[in-house]
Amino acid sequence: QAATRVNGDRAGAVSVASWRNHDKAPYRVAEWALANNTNVDFFGGGQMAPPGCREIAYDAMPDVLARYQTFVYLPTVIEPFGRLVAEAWAAGCEVVTNRLVGARYWIEGRSEAIENAAEDFWKLVMNA
């Protein structure tokens, strides 16, 4: 719904995470930005937050995501689902991520099932 309110006026790139450890890899996002001659705005908190990172309330996230063309998240360890990746995709962002993010499976192969993807993932894990 937030995406429809911006009327197509999207621009730039964003990365959002709970920057609590090195594995979230804001440096990889910065490398991507440099390689693509693009500025990336960072949101989220944590001791590993990159310089200039801004805190954001979760309920403000849809409106923030809807302002950006591209969402970038490139962790260095497995992210079993990656809710913000799925939320950025649902908000209409082009998603740049790697194969370490589980949400990519649903976005690329089962987009019709993404609303239940996190629940399906945990059902699978708990029944294993």
The C-alpha angle 93, 88, 11, rounded to 5 degrees, equals 35
Pairing of strands 70-72, 94-96: parallel
Q: What is the pLDDT of residue 113?
A: 67
Q: What is the pLDDT of residue 128?
A: 59
| Best CA proximity match to 104, nearest among 93, 112, 96 | 96
Q: What is the pLDDT of residue 90?
A: 84
Pairing of strands 94-96, 40-43: unpaired
Q: What is the pLDDT of residue 17?
A: 93
Flag residues of the chain having pLDDT under 50: none
Phi-psi region of 7 (alpha: psi -120 to 50; beta: other; left: phi over 0): left
Reported as a single tens digit per residue, the pLDDT across 79-105 is 888 888 988 988 889 999 999 987 777
pTM over 0.85: no
